[in-house]
Structure formats: structure tokens, C-alpha cells
């Protein structure tokens, strides 16, 4: 990556990407939407390796939302086959790059076969020391926060905590991302400018970056552009501009 004049670039520790635009990417090429999903999954490998080479510590990718079940059954069925494909195709490259894979999302709606695959991938990579790839699959932020609130409600019933003592950290410690570095930057390719129920809590002070490229075409260069843009931001966290 070309350095900005004399500036040394700060690499965000934790980047999240909404993998959007697979369908439109395929449509533009007169191909079925599912082909877009296939190329989109391939791109997870490419961008994970690029992020790892750039020094990113954690990469969260939004691959299937709790709302995506509303899509036509044939498309949902296709998307539900992707974990299997992911496991088959990425093993060697990810091994080489020491990628630790984890999954965020509901475990109540996935097939036993998919749950087994997710568990196996997690178990097989748990001791890896490289980049953490957090795949958000059947993920929805509102459900994630709701589940955290339920745990706290039970803790109140069990007299482990009093309502007046609840702090943001108590919500946070039940989120899927509790062990990840704080989210620094959230990227949404494809031209849509919304979060679509992704990391709503975690994005409180993340820098948001939107670009037009569809996810299957999103390249290492696009990631670098986002990081350069990140370096131009003044992160004040409610305070005042740095001198
Ligand atoms: C993102 O691409 C993949 C999933 C949501 C599973 P889309 O399928 O949303 O593609 P567009 O937005 O229709 O182009
Ligand atoms: C968000 O994309 C979900 C994923 C990329 C997994 P969508 O395509 O589902 O979002 P909307 O419908 O444009 O908000
Ligand atoms: Mg979309």
C-alpha cells in the first residue's frame, strides 16, 4: 500500500464488512444470483488474507442475516450450503495464514449439519494465532442484544445483580463479539447506506465507510482505500479534536 506522504498508516484492529451486492453483481453479468453468492464466498478468502497481510487483527463479515430467511427458498437453500463449501475450499489457505475462525449468530435455526460444520471449523482453528475471521451467519444485532438482556434478566432473578447496577459492560459481556477488539471500522460495499441490523452496539464509535463496488468485486485495493480513509478521520469519541 502506498503510504500517504510522510504519514504512517494506523491499521484498524477490527474491521467489519457487510458482504452486500452479490445478486446485483451477478445480474449485471446476466448470471444467476447464486453465482454471485459463490464468487462472494470466494472473496472472503481473498479479503481475509489481504486483511491479515495488512495487519488487521479481526475481520467480521456479515454473510447471512436473521432477515435473509425471507428470501426465496431456493436462494436460502443455496446460501445454507455455503458453510460446507467454505470448509472444503479454504482449509489450506487459512491454515497457511494461521486464521482463527469463529461464528456469530443464532444457533437455533441452522440445520444440525451446518451446526456441526460451524463447530468443527471453530474447534479446528481455535489455537490459531493469526487474524480472527468472525463469520456472522444467521446474525442479527437486535437478537444478539435481546439475548444479552435475557441473560441479565435471569441474573436479576437469581439475585446475581441488582437492576440499578446494570452497566453497558454487562450487555457487552454477553455479545458474540465479547472477546474481539473494539470495532474500528465498518465497511458496506454495493452502494447501500444502512446497517441492516449489523453490529449496532459494536458500531457505536466505529468509522463507517460506504463504497459502490459490489462485494464479489471488492479487492485488496478497495480495502486499502478504506484504511486510508480511516486514517483521515478524527476519532473524537465525544471529546475535542486532537491537536
Ligand atoms: C449479499 O448479497 C449476500 C447476502 C445477503 C446473503 P445480496 O444477495 O444481498 O445481493 P444484492 O444486494 O441483492 O445485490
Ligand atoms: C445485509 O444485506 C445482510 C448481509 C449482507 C448478510 P441485505 O441485502 O440482506 O440487506 P438489505 O435488505 O439491503 O437491507
Ligand atoms: Mg443485498
pLDDT in tens, 7-19: 699 999 999 999 9
Domains held by the chain: number: 1
Ligand 2 atom showing the smallest separation from residue 20 Cα: 5
Judge whether 236 lies within some domain.
Answer: no
Ligand 2 atom showing the smallest separation from residue 63 Cα: 6
Judge whether 30 lies within some domain.
Answer: yes
Judge whether 149 lies within some domain.
Answer: no
Judge whether 168 lies within some domain.
Answer: no
Q: Which residue among 47, 134, 192 is best mutated to probe the pocket of ligand 2, counting the most ligand atoms within 8 A of its Cβ?
A: 192
Ligand 1: centre distance to CA 160 (Å): 42
pTM: 0.96
Catalytic residue list contains 114: no
- In tens, the pLDDT along 148-200 reads 999 999 999 999 999 999 999 999 999 999 999 999 999 999 999 999 999 99
Q: Range of 218's domain?
A: 2-140+181-230
Looking at residues 72-95, what average pLDDT do you find? Answer: 93
Judge whether 12 lies within some domain.
Answer: yes
SS (H, E, C) the chain: CCCCCCCCCCCCCEEEEECCCHHHHHHHCCCCHHHHHHHHHHHHHHHHHHHHHHCCCEEEEEEEECCHHHCCHHHHHHHCCHHHHHHHHHHHHHHHCCCEEEEECCCCCCCHHHHHHHHHHHHHHCCCCCCEEEEEEEECHHHHHHHHHHHHHHHHHCCCCCHHHCCHHHHHCCCCCCCCCCCCEEEECCCCCCCCCCCCCHHHHCEEEECCCCHHHCCHHHHHHHHHHHHHCCCCCCCCCCC
Judge whether 166 lies within some domain.
Answer: no
Reported as a pLDDT band with limits 50, 70 and 90, residue 1 is low
Residue 83: which CATH number?
3.40.1180.10
Judge whether 152 lies within some domain.
Answer: no
Q: Which residue among 17, 18, 20, 83 is best mutated to probe the pocket of ligand 1, counting the most ligand atoms within 8 A of its Cβ?
A: 20
Amino acid at each position: 500500500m502506498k503510504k500517504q506522504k510522510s504519514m504512517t498508516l494506523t491499521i484498524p484492529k477490527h474491521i467489519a464488512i457487510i458482504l452486500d451486492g452479490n445478486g446485483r453483481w451477478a445480474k449485471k453479468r446476466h448470471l444467476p444470483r447464486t453465482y454471485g453468492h459463490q464468487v462472494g464466498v470466494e472473496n472472503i478468502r481473498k479479503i481475509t488474507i489481504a486483511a491479515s497481510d495488512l495487519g488487521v487483527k479481526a475481520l467480521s463479515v456479515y454473510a447471512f442475516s436473521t432477515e435473509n430467511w425471507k428470501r426465496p427458498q431456493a436462494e436460502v437453500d443455496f446460501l445454507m450450503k455455503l458453510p460446507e463449501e467454505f470448509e472444503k475450499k479454504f482449509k489450506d489457505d487459512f491454515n497457511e495464514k494461521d486464521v482463527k475462525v469463529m461464528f456469530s449468530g443464532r444457533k437455533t435455526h441452522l440445520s444440525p449439519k451446518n451446526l456441526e460444520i460451524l463447530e468443527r471449523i471453530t474447534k479446528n482453528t481455535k489455537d490459531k494465532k493469526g487474524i480472527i475471521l468472525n463469520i456472522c451467519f444467521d446474525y442479527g444485532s437486535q437478537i444478539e442484544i435481546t439475548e444479552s438482556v435475557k441473560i441479565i434478566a435471569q441474573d436479576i432473578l437469581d439475585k446475581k445483580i441488582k437492576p440499578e447496577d446494570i452497566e453497558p459492560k454487562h450487555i457487552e459481556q454477553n455479545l458474540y463479539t465479547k472477546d474481539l477488539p473494539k470495532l474500528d471500522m465498518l465497511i458496506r460495499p454495493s452502494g447501500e447506506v444502512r446497517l441492516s441490523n449489523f453490529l449496532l452496539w459494536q458500531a457505536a464509535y466505529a468509522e463507517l465507510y460506504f463504497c459502490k463496488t459490489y462485494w464479489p468485486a471488492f479487492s485488496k485495493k478497495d480495502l486499502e482505500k478504506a484504511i486510508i480513509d480511516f486514517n483521515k478521520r478524527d476519532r473524537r469519541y465525544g471529546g475535542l479534536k486532537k491537536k
